[in-house]
Amino acid sequence: MTSVVTLTDVARVHGEGEAAVHALRGISLDVQAGELVAVMGPSGSGKSTLLNLAGGLDRPTSGEVTVEGVPLSTVKDLAALRRRSIGYVFQDLNLIPSLTGAENVMLPRELDGVRTREARAEALAVLEEMGLAAVADRFPDELSGGQRQRVAIARSLVGERRLILADEPTGALDTPTGDEILELLRSRCEAGAAVLLVTHESRYAGWADRVVFLRDGQIVDSTAPVVSAR
Amino acid sequence: MRALLRISRRDALRAKGRTALIMVMIGLPVLVITGVLTFWETADVTLSEGIVRKLGAADLRVKTSGYAKVRAQYGDDGIPPYGEGAEPPEKAAATTAAQVAARLQPGSRLIGFDEGSVEVRTERGYDHITALEVDLRDPMTRGMRPLVEGRHPAAPDEVAVTPAMKRRIGDTIEVTREGRRVKVVGVVQDPFDTGVVEVVGFRGVLLDEGDGRGIGWLADTPSPATWADTRRLNDVGLVGLSRVTAESDLSAEGTMSTRVVVGIAVAVFMVGMETVLLAGPAFAIGLRRRATALAMIAAQGGSKAHLRVIVLTDGLVLGGAAALVAGVTGVAGGLALVPLLSESMGPLEVPWWSVAGVMALGVGSGVAAAMVPAVLAGRQNPAAVLAGRSDAARDRAGRPLLGLVLVLAGVAATVLTPLTDEVWIFAASVLGLLGLVALVPSLVALTGRLAVRLPLAPRLGVRDAVRHRMRTASAVAAVMAATAGAVTAGIGVTSQDAAARASYSSSTPVGTLMISAYGADDEEWARTRQAVQERLPGIALAEAFEPVDSDGRSAGLYAERLRECASCTHLPPGVLVGDQRLLEVMQGRHDPTAAAALAEGKAVVFGPSRLRDGRLSLRIDVDGSTAKLTRFETQAVVAEAASRGVTSVLVPPATLKAKGFGLKERTVFARHQPQDVKLLREHLTVASSKVSVRLEGGYERDISIVMIVLMGGALVLVLGGTFVATALAAADLRPDLATIAAVGAPSRTGRLILAGQAGYLAGLGAGRRDRRRGPRCRPRLGHDVEDSRLRRDRLAGPDRPDPGDDRGGAVGAGERDRGRPAAAGRPGGGSVRADASAPSHPSPYLTRRILDCLCGSRSQSSMNIALNPCRSAISASVSVR
């Protein structure tokens, strides 16, 4: 097993002086390939901030984030890193409404300069692998919530990427659909991907190999799920 | 790029309302300009396009030039040689068909073809219309004047007329002064001009070719005519028009002066800037709606550059689509309108390069309008947006220093610009306008502070405008640009008008009628005098005389200028020769002093600039010959004319007699304003074709239409800019309006908030005070009056009769320049909380202010809410939400 993302003593402070807000304090976390780590905690505990730092959408005030062995502090073009190494899945609004399912999946590859035909072939391959070939040419508003999340997960995996950062991906879904999404994420892990999952619900955390509890920006516990969903 | 174009194209289709709005704003100017250009190009018939009406099916059209040799030929115009022969002789030797045939390819066939004008008797007098002498039955004339009705003339007493002449087949008309009666046997049509009034007959029927000019032939040559054929004709003073030479028509080739180039550049800039300022906020609001989508793209690896390009691509896609649709519509519309609005119509023609340039301006405007939103898109924090936090970048306070510098530079440039040149006034004002645009964000912030004293609705409206400073500044700047443009143009027009009015000068007082017949013989003048007396019974007439030399040739009489300046021209002032009666007409009263001076043989000068030591310098020349030029001085006095601006000189007849000149009466003046000057002229032309009738009407130029168009255009732009910005504000204000409704505000409050913002936008934009000087109406120095008059005269051509100008413009034919009063001076006839990261959900600040207002205690702080039952109740309801 190899580390896909590693956070070492990471802190993130918003603002300065008396107005400073400590979103994260001295977080250290390592997610291995094939591992699904769930992050839980109350609102404002820093879950999303943790995900943003892991994906390079935000930079830590101190500490270091390493993705695929590359320290992000040394990376100038974080956007390029996200296109090639990191996939994001959010609760909703995951897809660009004006692009079809396949075009949404193609997006990171096209942004990376891959020719349209090649990007489409890659996207269709991922969609087919995930059983979504039939919805490839539908627009997001023609898809169900579950289908949208599946397409988003497909997009997070297109190319050579094997790190999925999922922020409440089941938040807008009913329980059976949510289970399907977690099952899918689990299967991607079995295929070698690393998944960092932020969730409120312990039900879904049951799919994880490890659960990290955050409170006031600090990891207060890190354990295997009490009840495994697998 | 394909992915970005795809996103922009699909987003444009999803947000149809916004797309339509932006496309209209970008496309409208493109549509109008391309439409006008296409209309103009098609309605204008160049010599080459309309060659068939000159040549028919012939190969060559030959005509005499009046010169012994033609040095160069452009289109249908022959250029005389340098030096000797540059002036056409008074009477050229007749050129015969045989002489012409000798210069053509052997085996050529010739038929007569003459163009000119002829007088046609009407119920009231004579009309001057276009005449053509050619046998339309000849195959060489095929296509020249297609037959509409009847048949072609077959005898000398038969003619064909165009529909615009409104004569029917069978009518008999009288042509020429000889009263030649001819019968209308056919109706023919100019192939490119439905409005031309023309009569076509046989050679010798309609035109007077006695002076040897204007005679022409059509030639059918064995092989198509070339430049070589034309050169052979040029060598003997003939002009040879063929399809080849028609291509060299200089009049069809426009050369642009610096002034025109600057005018076009300023117009392009103003149209582009106005479009950018109006469409910019629409792109900005689109950016706000797509913030999450853009953040999502950023999360998937889209860089800042990608985000910027996406927004710029919006501009490219919408600008391109708008330009394409508007361009095509404009061209089609322009072509469709030509037959409806224009009598003249050439082949359907589209000025592709100009249309492409205007469409490029549309695309450029779209991209430019998306520029600022694109920069903001690049600055967007995806993490904040994805977390549901507003990430509207704090609007900048503009660049007040740069704005101030530009405004000052603009003011300085406008002050230094000649007041009467609108193009340079516009060019200079663009600098000031750019400065004001840079100053607008600061102005918005500054004026926003004044909102504290306003009632709730307008206060919220103004504060929302201030919070969204970029959107507001753009709309205010658009309104400002439109207003400033209209004001600047208005000042330019009124300044020019005021300056022209102030410097207007004339040879005779306002209300003076002048009837003359220069070039008429004694008998004609006697008839004319009698006709005048019959038509103007009881009207006192005062004669003016024309000096003649011992050989009876007319002499030109001029007053010498005393002051010399580089820009001055030397066009002659009006010098009249007449007695006491003419003096009274000029003064409108009896002035004993002036009368006594005139009786003593002194000249009377209306305008002091020509006197030196009480003496006036006069110059006489005969037939333009400098050899016979005579200068002499005479004593003179200064007198006041009946109206201001009269700058002529009255010389007593005795003075000229003493110099050995004879006098002949060819002009009469009267203090009389006939009801219909044109009618009077028509009546008098019965007596002489050389009659000219002019009524001095003073300065006449109506600028109200120009001002109405300017103000109407500005109003449309001010309202358009305000509506767009208010519609965008309404979209932005939706969450706040929901909060207001939730706390119990009546529905009108929301409308009042928007109305308040609209009023603020329009008020700030249109309330600009132009820093330009007011119109300067009074000339600085005495000679300015004459200088500007002279400039106008030079532009208009000195004393050139204008058949369409009956009041003040000379009416009539056959006038000669010399010896008659100069027709001087006739231009035209004569923007608290500046928190840009405010949340989209009900803001505590806003809620508190609403609570303060609704509970009627604006001065109390929110800390007192618990003490006030009203506030507590509303506060609780908000908390529940």
User: Average pLDDT for residues A151-171, to the nearest whole number?
Assistant: 85
Please name the member of A58, A98, A116 whose beta carbon is closest to the beta carbon of B2: A116
The residue of chain B with its CA nearest to that of A59 is B383
DSSP, res A226: S
> How many percent of chain B have pLDDT more than 90?
8
Cα distance from N-terminal residue to C-terminal residue, chain A: 20
Residues counted in chain B: 881
- B300 contact residues in A (CB cutoff 8 A): 82-83, 87-88, 107-108, 111, 155
The residue of chain B with its CA nearest to that of A155 is B300
* Predicted confidence (pLDDT) per residue in B160-214, tens digit: 999 988 888 898 998 887 788 999 999 999 888 888 899 999 988 888 665 445 5
Please name the member of A57, A96, A110 whose beta carbon is closest to the beta carbon of B293: A96
In a domain, A102, yes or no: yes
The residue of chain B with its CA nearest to that of A90 is B386
What dihedral angle (degrees, nearest 10) is formed by the CA atoms of A118, A122, A127, A131?
Answer: 110
Please name the member of B6, B11, B301 whose beta carbon is closest to the beta carbon of A82: B301
- B293 contact residues in A (CB cutoff 8 A): 93, 96-98
**Chain B residues 286-345 with a CB less than 8 Å from chain A:** 292-293, 296-304, 306
Q: Is B3 helix (H, G, I), strand (E, B) or coil?
A: helix
- B386 contact residues in A (CB cutoff 8 A): 57, 90, 167
In a domain, A16, yes or no: yes
- Contact B620/B629 with Cβ under 8 angstroms? yes
Q: How far apart are CA B845 and CA B81, in angstroms?
A: 87
In a domain, A229, yes or no: no
Q: How far apart are CA B106 and CA B103, in angstroms?
A: 9
Q: How far apart are CA B91 and CA B110, in angstroms?
A: 24
The domain that holds A211 is classified in CATH as 3.40.50.300
The residue of chain A with its CA nearest to that of B303 is A79
Q: Which domain holds residue A49?
A: 3-223
**Within a 13 Å sphere around the CA of B411, how many CA atoms are in the beta-carbon half?**
13
Strand order of the β-sheet with A163-167 is A86-89, A163-167, A194-198, A36-40, A210-215, A218-223
The residue of chain A with its CA nearest to that of B6 is A99
The residue of chain B with its CA nearest to that of A56 is B299
CB-CB under 8 Å, A88 with B299: yes
Look at residue B781 in the predicted model and tell me its pLDDT. Answer: 31
| pLDDT tier for residue A44 given thresholds of 50, 70 and 90 | confident
Cα-to-chain-centroid distance, residue B531:
40
* Rg of the Cα atoms in chain B: 37
The residue of chain B with its CA nearest to that of A48 is B387
Please name the member of A52, A77, A107 whose beta carbon is closest to the beta carbon of B300: A107
Cα-to-chain-centroid distance, residue B856:
59
Look at residue A9 in the predicted model and tell me its pLDDT. Answer: 93
Please name the member of A77, A82, A97 whose beta carbon is closest to the beta carbon of B300: A82
* Predicted-assembly ipTM surpassing the 0.90 threshold: no
CB-CB under 8 Å, A111 with B306: yes
- B382 contact residues in A (CB cutoff 8 A): 57
Taking the model in full, what pTM does it have?
A: 0.63
Look at residue B783 in the predicted model and tell me its pLDDT. Answer: 34
- Contact B832/B388 with Cβ under 8 angstroms? no
In a domain, A137, yes or no: yes
Instruction: Tell whether B356 lies on the interface with A, counting CB pairs under 8 A.
Output: no
Look at residue B522 in the predicted model and tell me its pLDDT. Answer: 85
Instruction: Tell whether B11 lies on the interface with A, counting CB pairs under 8 A.
Output: yes
In angstroms, the Cα distances linking A229 to A47, A89, A171, A186 are: 22, 21, 18, 10
In a domain, A103, yes or no: yes
In a domain, A228, yes or no: no
CB-CB under 8 Å, B300 with A155: yes
Q: How far apart are CA B246 and CA A75, in angstroms?
A: 70
Please name the member of B10, B302, B383 whose beta carbon is closest to the beta carbon of A111: B302
Q: Read off the tokens for B44.
A: 């204008």
**Chain B residues 769-798 with a CB less than 8 Å from chain A:** none
State the best of A111, A120, A198 to mutate against chain B, taking most chain B CBs within 10 Å.
A111
User: Average pLDDT for residues A192-221, to the nearest whole number?
Assistant: 87
Of B52, B57, B62, B106, nearest to B223 by C-alpha is B106
Q: Which residues of A touch B (CB under 8 A)?
A: 48, 52, 55, 57-58, 77, 79-84, 86-88, 90, 93-99, 103, 106-108, 110-112, 116, 155, 167
CB-CB under 8 Å, B297 with A96: yes
Please name the member of A98, A111, A167 whose beta carbon is closest to the beta carbon of B301: A111
What dihedral angle (degrees, nearest 10) is formed by the CA atoms of B364, B365, B371, B374?
Answer: -90
CB-CB under 8 Å, A116 with B296: no
In a domain, A155, yes or no: yes
- A75 contact residues in B (CB cutoff 8 A): none
Question: How many beta-carbon pairs below 8 A join chains A and B?
Answer: 78
CB-CB under 8 Å, A84 with B301: yes
CB-CB under 8 Å, A96 with B3: no
pLDDT under 50: residue ranges of chain B:
211-212, 252, 392, 562-572, 626-627, 768-881
The residue of chain B with its CA nearest to that of A76 is B303
State the best of A89, A93, A98, A112 to mutate against chain B, taking most chain B CBs within 10 Å.
A98
**Within a 13 Å sphere around the CA of B415, how many CA atoms are in the beta-carbon half?**
8
DSSP string, A86-140: EEEE-SS--S-TTS-HHHHHHHHHHHTT--HHHHHHHHHHHHHHTT-GGGTTS-G
**Within a 13 Å sphere around the CA of B513, how many CA atoms are in the beta-carbon half?**
18
CA distance, residue B744 to nearest chain A CA (Å): 31
Count of domains forming chain A: 1
CA distance, residue A1 to nearest chain B CA (Å): 26
- B301 contact residues in A (CB cutoff 8 A): 79-84, 86, 108, 111-112
**Within a 13 Å sphere around the CA of B180, how many CA atoms are in the beta-carbon half?**
19
